[in-house]
Amino acid sequence: MLFCNIDLLDEKFALQRGQYVGVKDGRIAYIGETEPQEDYGERYDGRHRLLLSGFYNVHSHAPMTLLRGYAENLPLQRWLNERVFPFEDQLSDEAAYYATQLAIAEMLASGTVSFTDMYFFLDGMTKAILESKIKCNLSRGLTVFDDSDYEQTAAYRDNLRLLGEWNGAGDGRLIGDLCIHGEYTSTPKVVEAVAAQAKASGARMHIHLSETQTEHEECKQRHGMTPAAYMQAHGVFDVPTTAAHCVWLEGEDFEILRSHGVTVACCPASNLKLASGYANIPKLLDMGINVALGTDGAASNNNLNILQDLYLFGVVYKGYYRNSTLITPVQALYAATRAGALAQGREDSGLLRVGCRADLCVIDTDTPQFTPMTDAACNVVYAAQGADVKLTMVDGEVLYRDGAYTTIDIERVKAETQRCTDDIIRRLQRGERQHD
Ligand SMILES: [Zn+2]
């Protein structure tokens, strides 16, 4: 495809007007003011359009679209124990398949090209991911509440497949990561075993870290150290790690993350909705820690439109720390794009640069909210709506365009997801009645 006469945000997020961008063999092959001689196939009319790097959503639980609106207005521990965990006990690969497709459809429609996910029912999930052609770093949520050895868990068997047959599938779009759900949902020996497997196999790690004050303080009581110190002590940070939330970091925690190159997946909407608190994003950025952006699952957000998290990321820390100079639009855009690609180990992605992967999105600027275009980066961070995205491309292939999907049967996916949720809720209600 050749994007013709299109405005773009370059790799420094500066506006360049009236450019030509050629895409070939999955990569950005040409960027310039003049039309290239070479034939790039379809010519895309770029008038009133803004081209930029697609977004990387580095913390999600895709099948939780099933739980959208099901677990509401509860503190996190009750939210998990009373609503989320019983619902998840009723899941199946079929439900996870449709719910993952639904999540991907929502992400593609708002410009997300790649996501980092943690969940289970991987047969259903991997099928949905590979069929859709979106990129994903997928890990198997691991929770252990008894004395089990890691090798006895169902997660261990899934992880062998993640590191084997699924790792690099779909021309490298699917990458298998390893996972510790969190300190409070695992045991030291299992944490060490997973960390050792990650080190031996070269896998990346995806964890929850210091999301709530309760979790953070209880870890200190249990182990005499913070969750960050605990993960470090058990070898988790010896491999590249994405740590979600990091709201309650304190003292040496920041230096632990910095010295190990840990990426912080900031999930502002989830942190606000579950009342977890405000991460110290300004300090993390000041220290040069890689901060990327996540939506978290649809049960705690309740949408997967990363532009909404981008907006919150851009404004809430200014308000919380009462300093309007914190977090510039460029820092926010970097977090939503390049920082996420680096967190996923995709070094050649997340930048609008010749030679990089053509993971792109196009925004309609012929709208009230984009007029006037005095500062395009500010418009994207503070004014854009998810529905302003008109095209999403992954590895040079258009997956979403003008409301239509090229790899997802959206009407079927919506209907099947609704059916799966209805079935689960009916079973839960029957179970409750039997219990009475
Ligand atoms: Zn999460």
Task: Residue 130: give its domain's CATH number.
Answer: 3.20.20.140
Query: In angstroms, what is the span from residue 29 Cα to ligand 1's centroid?
Result: 36
Query: In angstroms, what is the span from residue 319 Cα to ligand 1's centroid?
Result: 24
Regions in the chain scoring below 70 on pLDDT: 433-436
Instruction: Look at the block and give the residue holding tokens 């590249």.
Output: 240
Query: In angstroms, what is the span from residue 372 Cα to ligand 1's centroid?
Result: 37
pLDDT digits (tens, 9 = 90+) for 12-61: 999 999 999 999 999 999 999 999 999 999 999 999 999 999 999 999 99
Is 328 within 8 Å of 375 (Cβ atoms)?
no
- For the chain, the domain total comes to 2
Query: In angstroms, what is the span from residue 17 Cα to ligand 1's centroid?
Result: 39
Protein residues near ligand 1, an ion, with CB under 5 A: 296
Whether 154 and 301 map to the same domain: the answer is yes
Query: In angstroms, what is the span from residue 300 Cα to ligand 1's centroid?
Result: 9
Whether 335 and 366 map to the same domain: the answer is no
Report pLDDT for 28: 98
Report pLDDT for 64: 97
Query: In angstroms, what is the span from residue 298 Cα to ligand 1's centroid?
Result: 10
Which residues pair with residue 190 across a beta bridge?
none
Report pLDDT for 166: 98
Domain range holding 14?
A: 2-53+355-405
Query: In angstroms, what is the span from residue 297 Cα to ligand 1's centroid?
Result: 6
Is 118 inside any structural domain?
Answer: yes
Query: In angstroms, what is the span from residue 245 Cα to ligand 1's centroid?
Result: 8
Name the H helices within 138-265: 154-163, 188-201, 213-223, 227-233, 253-259
Report pLDDT for 77: 82
The domain that holds 368 is classified in CATH as: 2.30.40.10
| Strand ranges, E, within 184-334 | 205-209, 241-245, 263-266, 291-293
